[in-house]
Amino acid sequence: MSDPAPSSPRTVIRGASVIDGTGAPRRSADVAIAGGRIVAIGEPGSLEGDTVIEAAGRILAPGFIDVHTHDDYVVIEKPQMTPKISQGVTTVIAGNCGISLAPLTASEVPAPLNLLGPGSAFTFPSVAAYAQAVDAACPSTNVCLLIGHGSLRFAVMDDLDRKASPAEIEAMQALLSDAMDEGALGLSTGLYYKIAEAADIDEVVALARIIAPHGGIYATHMRNEHDLILDSLEETFQTAGRAGVKVIISHHKCAGPNNWGRSSETLAVIESARTRQDLGLDCYPYIAGSTVLEPFLVDETIRITVSWSTPHPEMAGRDLADIAAQWGIGQREAAERLKPAGGIYYNMSEEDVRRILSYPQTMIGSDGLPQDAHPHPRLWGTFPRVLGHYSRDEGLFSLETAVHKMTGIPAANFGLADRGIIREGAAADLVIFDPDTVIDTATFDAPMQPAAGIETVIVNGVLSWQDGTHTGERGGMFLNMAERRGQ
């Protein structure tokens, strides 16, 4: 992006308590923006502008970066992005968990690719084509894209139940290499899922090596977040170490009642790995996860709520146990009848969620599923829940730390050079919120509700959300390498 023309109209946000994203304590200041950039920061009351937003008593923070999303298709299909902009999110990282919309063309897709949208949505043979479609749609948020290992496998393999052959690995490497040239952020895996579980560490290392020279990031939904979580962490460290890449552990959790409380173990292992290699992690602030509903994921012990079902759309929002009882069958059999479908799994402990959220390196990522009929409330509630519930009401950490986990840390981890921190010259991605009232209102029963207390959201200088509604203006774009570096 170039410097703003001297004639660009200037907006001043006056007198807010600025939390700048670095983790530093808040301080009162005026912030001026013009031409999509922050152009001046001064003492309260010192700056003038064509438009003035009075923000005394409010927090001004960098726009939040949602590091873990499945927004690949929704940014094109419903570019208003209300679930995210209403939370103060100004950048989404799509393509997580081994599934990305590009580069892939298909008419029907297997689970979990179907979480992104219908088969007919997969029309982008390249990242260049995808980036063009994003920019044409002009979503409310900026978009970065990881390339899903599962998408690459589905694109080049005829049988996903085995490990890729040398020729197939080469074909995936070629697709990934082009994708990186065209602006992808890195590689993601979802080794937990059927479409990828047959891949061994060598297959993933062979792909991760391709992103290394680009400074690409490797994000992983690990093979196992249940009893074998320590093995999966070890596999993750080895994969990234051998490939020479930074790794992000996606939605870190200790899943299943057997493993509740084990986050003290896993975080200790992560802390020690951090002394040897570059790694990060993200987490959403809820004790339930959500993904596809598959019989093999049904253990008949934890509560599961159906989030969507193609053959039985009327069951969205109901508990699997109730549906099974109504049908007079077991829960696994009910899941079989409901699929393709999605589920919300109450598989974590509150103690672990708090411990993982509080770990200093943990970033916030919603993992929201925007296509679901009855989505997990994380889609609409993640960021205000961390700010209002966990920081303010529960006192888990300061508001400065909460903001740092949503802005400065993600920007550093993902190489977003001019976002995530409020400073002169940075992109004008900003959120103004009321620290006394900010809170999520989305619940497991009523999951599609905009947050309270998020007052103003600005993306690349465009006023996008104000007074609880979308302004209709959208300022987001696909962030390719040059834009991520702020060139």
Q: Backbone dihedral region of 88: left (phi > 0), alpha (psi from -120 to 50 degrees) or beta?
A: left
| Shortest Å distance, C-beta 292 to Zn ion | 10
- Binds Zn ion (CB under 5 A): choice among 97, 121, 146, 152: 97
| Site track for Zn ion across 211-250, x = CB under 5 A | ----------x-----------------------------
What residue is closest to Cu ion based on CB? 97
Q: How far apart are CA 44 and CA 63, in angstroms?
A: 21
Q: Quick check: helix, strand or coil at residue 167?
A: helix
Nearer to Zn ion among residue 192 and residue 433 (C-beta): 192
Provide, rounded to whole angstroms, the least separation between the CB of residue 369 and Cu ion.
8
* Cα dihedral across residues 89, 93, 94, 96: positive or negative: negative
- What is the C-alpha to C-alpha distance for residues 150 and 159, in angstroms, rounded to an integer? 12
Q: Which residue, 380 or 433, has its beta carbon nearer to Cu ion?
A: 380
Distance from C-alpha of 188 to C-alpha of 200, rounded to nearest angstrom: 15
Q: In the complex with Zn ion, which residue's Cβ is closer, 214 or 253? A: 253
Q: Tell how many helices (H) and how many strands (E) occur in the chain.
A: 15, 22
Number of alpha carbons in the 13 Å side-chain half-sphere of residue 445: 0
Task: Pick out residues in 348-377 that bind Cu ion (CB under 5 A).
Answer: 367
The set of residues, in sequence order, having a beta carbon less than 8 Å from that of 134 and lying 6+ positions away, is 75, 76, 143, 477, 478
Nearer Cβ to Zn ion (413/460): 413
The structure tokens listed for 252 are: 């870190």
Of 86 and 100, which CB lies nearer to Cu ion in the complex structure? 100
Which of the stretches 35-43, 89-97, 235-243, 389-397 binds Zn ion when contact is defined by CB under 5 A?
Answer: 89-97
Q: What whole-number distance in Å separates Cα of residue 116 and Cα of residue 134?
A: 15
Cβ 319 to Zn ion, closest distance in Å? 22
Cβ-based nearer residue to Cu ion, 372 or 483: 372
Least Å from the CB of residue 45 to Cu ion: 44
Residue among 305, 458, 295 nearest 375 (CA): 305
Window 89 to 118, contacts with Cu ion (CB under 5 A): 96-97
Query: Nearest distance from residue 341's CB to Zn ion, in Å?
Result: 17
Instruction: Give min distance, CB of 192 to Zn ion, in A.
Output: 7
Helix (H, G, I), strand (E, B) or coil at 282: strand
* Footprint on residues 255-284 left by Cu ion (CB under 5 A): none
Please state the closest distance from residue 87 (CB atom) to Cu ion, in A. Answer: 17
Given the rule CB under 5 A, which residues bind Cu ion?
96-97, 367
Given the rule CB under 5 A, which residues bind Zn ion?
97, 221
